[in-house]
């Protein structure tokens, strides 16, 4: 069902952050930093894959994401919803259902046999495609998925995610330079604010996380 209630963006951000904390998707650990896919380290980690196991949270977040896309991109802006392998696939299916659109998914690389396809499902030339993923850090992985979508003759000018790190300079600008608008529900800053409000972590941990979010490079330099 297409959501017809559109809460204010700041309320969506606060509630989304609250739900991520509530289901244990947020991890802060300054003593033993996490290693990201880029190889860099940091005291924060978010596991959006957990959300598929919590029906009420999952449904609410997907309603939020659908209404965010409708409000920011338009009510008749898309013909197809594509999920990025693998974390984006369940969320793309849920968003496609809400928007009443076909769903496809994009492989990270050709599967190596058969049709050697990167696009699974039916995606037609000229279709306007919304790329859905769980999160984005610096936006790099989105560019590969969008390239595969555009190679079919379809267009892709929008990507929607539950979580945006919003700490790496140039992330939005890099996507925008490739003609891609980013839509998201919440960021690390929203999660930090809600974690403080809830007292979800001790003061020392929250201070370390804030220092990292403010200047990741300086925090890593101090870490050594």
At 142-158, the pLDDT tens digits run 999 999 999 999 999 99
Quick check: 38 pLDDT over 80? no
Q: For position 59, what pLDDT does the model report?
A: 96
- pLDDT bracket for residue 35 (50, 70, 90): confident
Non-local CB neighbours of 108 within 8 Å, separated by 6+ positions = 84, 85, 144
Give the Cβ contact number of residue 186 at 10 Å. Answer: 28
Percentages of the chain per state (helix, strand, coil), in multiples of 5: 45, 20, 35
pLDDT tens-place string over residues 68-118? 999 999 999 999 999 999 999 999 999 999 999 999 999 998 876 666 689
**pLDDT averaged over every residue in the chain:** 93
DSSP summary character for residue 51:
G
Q: For position 110, what pLDDT does the model report?
A: 81
Task: State how far the Cα of 84 lies from the Cα of 63, in Å rounded to an integer.
Answer: 19
The SS3 of residue 52 is helix
- pLDDT bracket for residue 66 (50, 70, 90): very high
Considering just the CA atoms, what is the radius of gyration of the chain in Å? 18
Pairing of strands 44-46, 119-120: unpaired
Give the tokens for residue 216.
Answer: 């990741």
Lowest mean pLDDT among 17-21, 35-39, 53-57, 219-223: 35-39
Task: State how far the Cα of 203 lies from the Cα of 96, in Å rounded to an integer.
Answer: 41
Q: For position 138, what pLDDT does the model report?
A: 79
Residues 92, 96, 100: CA angle, nearest 5 degrees: 180
Q: For position 73, what pLDDT does the model report?
A: 97
Give the Cβ contact number of residue 148 at 10 Å. Answer: 23
Give the tokens for residue 218.
Answer: 């300086």
Region 191-207 average pLDDT: 94
Percentage of the chain exceeding pLDDT 90 = 79
Percentage of the chain exceeding pLDDT 70 = 96
Q: For position 39, what pLDDT does the model report?
A: 77
Decide: 149 and 92 in contact? Cβ < 8 Å.
no
Domains, the chain, in order of start with CATH, read 23-223 (3.40.50.2020)
Q: For position 61, what pLDDT does the model report?
A: 97
Q: For position 77, what pLDDT does the model report?
A: 98
Q: How many CA atoms lie within 13 A of 57 on its CB side?
A: 19
């Amino acid at each position: 069902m297409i959501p017809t209630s559109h809460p204010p963006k700041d309320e969506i951000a606060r509630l989304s952050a609250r739900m991520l904390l509530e289901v244990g998707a947020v991890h802060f650990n300054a003593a033993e930093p996490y290693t990201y896919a880029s190889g860099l380290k940091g005291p924060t980690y978010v596991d959006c894959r957990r959300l598929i196991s919590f029906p009420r949270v999952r449904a609410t977040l997907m309603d939020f994401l659908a209404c965010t896309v409708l409000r920011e991109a338009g009510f008749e802006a898309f013909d197809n919803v594509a999920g990025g392998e693998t974390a984006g696939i369940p969320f793309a299916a849920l968003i496609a259902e809400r928007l009443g659109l076909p769903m496809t998914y994009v492989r990270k690389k050709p599967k190596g046999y058969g049709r050697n396809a990167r696009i699974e499902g039916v995606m037609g030339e000229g279709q306007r495609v919304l790329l859905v993923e769980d999160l984005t850090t610096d936006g790099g992985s989105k560019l590969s998925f969008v390239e595969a979508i555009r190679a079919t003759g379809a267009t892709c000018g929008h990507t929607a995610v539950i979580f945006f790190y919003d700490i790496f300079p140039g992330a939005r600008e890099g996507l925008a330079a490739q003609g891609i608008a980013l839509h998201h529900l919440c960021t690390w800053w929203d999660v930090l604010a809600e974690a403080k409000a809830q007292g979800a972590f001790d003061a020392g941990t929250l201070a370390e996380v804030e220092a990292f979010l403010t200047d990741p490079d300086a925090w890593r330099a101090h870490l050594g």
